[in-house]
Amino acid sequence: MKVNVISRKLIKPSTPTPQNLKKCQLSFLDEISPPWNVSVILFYPPNPNPKPILIAHFEDSLAKILPQFYPFAGRYNKKDDHKVIDCNDEGAEFVEAEATEVEMMDFIKNSKNDRCFLNNNLLSRQPYYEADKPTDPLLSIQITEFKSCGGLAISIGVSHKIADASSVGTFIAALSDIANTTCNPADDQRSSKIIIPSFDSRMLLPGKINVSKINVSNDYELPKNIVVKRLYFNKEAISSLRSKLSRDQGRFLSRVRLVSAVIAKALIGVDRAKHGKSRSCFIVQSVDMRGRTIPPLPKHSCGNLVLQSITETNNEDKNNIGLHELVRLIGDSIDKTITDCAKLLSIGEDERKDFIIYPMAKSLKRLLSGEISYAMWFSDWSKFGFYEADFGWGKPVWASIGTFPSQNLTLLMSNNEGDGIEAWVHLNQDDMPYFDQDEEIKLFTLL
């Protein structure tokens, strides 16, 4: 698909950032976050209003919301010993583009079926190559019109140094609310829902850690030949899995845990097929801190606020690990992480850093030494309200992602109805044939 850029500009906050907020310190979780953008792409049906009016309204809404999200309009300064965001109001990048030669619904259909980076040409910045340099905008937005039908794709990308997926969801919700309030000022009900973000996590998790002690580096080598497979677990599939497994587990099983276990089992099978034997691995699941600490962090806290739940599978003594056992192992690990999260704010600052960093550092050391053969990562984006994003022209018909340069990474998104899961599995292209042969994966592949 050919995409032509029509214009590229910087949108500055409608009011300047106060002097006392000009420097935004990073938390230590921000510091060790990978140098890429967290991106979401929302697709909207044709709108009867002229596109210039829609674009102007969107730009105006963006300028009005940026004062609340003042770090997003700044730049990342990694020259300082204590890395900061310069909240200098340089602005967010805003790109207007046109897609030719294809209708939006055909593009969506092809995107759902193809294993490639079909969506990245709808991003104003590529997730890895154009992130975290001194001149790179921390927030980048592109509106692409499908010329043949009038549909719109809106991509929103934010640097991982200042935002996780929940933070991106908060920004999109706030931008949506202010856009609708501007369109419908008499709508008091929507006006009462204006979202106020918080950037106080850096005070709870202050930065400046010695990353050399935990073997974490931001000098990433970009993996090559990564392809993406999309799996769809609809309501009926979730219900079937839940009824089959809940009998043995004796507890309610969430969509995310069920889907993660199915994919983890298939990835374990891929590794076994490649190496001729079962090997030990880590299954790493991101767990959101928000609402789980005591006292709870604000729902709209922005930054990187996740703990890593690490499940170890000792597969070397087994020919095959069952789905029931994986669901139990992953669930027990997540439950423990949630329990640990509750006491996070009741301990001292240094102890808090060790509490979060030490398990990650220990696991990474075992992985790098070869004691653990490989790892897989899961991140749940299903609860961040992307399908509620109405900028004045209705809600999206599909929410997609910007792909990531990471092998064995699975991102989980909700479906439009809110009762299913779309899983975006990132694999080396040489591993995909093995993955495709898994009998359970075949059930959830859209052809």
SS3 309: strand
Q: Catalytic one among 136, 335, 340, 390?
A: 390
Task: State phi, psi for 21 to the nearest 5 degrees.
Answer: -115, 10
How far apart are the C-alpha atoms of 277 and 268, rounded to whole Å?
A: 10
User: CA nearest 31: which of 305, 218, 197?
Assistant: 218
Identify whether 86 is a catalytic site residue.
no
How far apart are the C-alpha atoms of 239 and 419, rounded to whole Å?
A: 10
Task: State phi, psi for 327 to the nearest 5 degrees.
Answer: -60, -45
| Secondary structure E strands in 208-326 | 226-233, 281-288, 306-313
Identify whether 390 is a catalytic site residue.
yes
Strands 75-77 and 84-86: antiparallel
Task: State phi, psi for 237 to the nearest 5 degrees.
Answer: -65, -45
How far apart are the C-alpha atoms of 213 and 104, rounded to whole Å?
A: 49
Lookup: tokens for 50: 């002229």
195, 211 Cβ separation under 8 angstroms: no
Based on the number of CB atoms within 10 Å of its own CB, is 385 exposed (0-12), middle (13-18) or buried (19 or more)?
A: middle
Q: Catalytic one among 89, 132, 160, 431?
A: 160
How far apart are the C-alpha atoms of 127 and 413, rounded to whole Å?
A: 18
Using the CB atoms, write b or e for 264-300: b if 16+ within 10 Å: bbbbbbbbbeeeeebbbbbbbbbbbbbebbeeebeeb
Q: For 375, how many CA atoms within 13 A lie in the half-sphere containing its CB?
A: 22
- Annotated catalytic residues are 160, 390
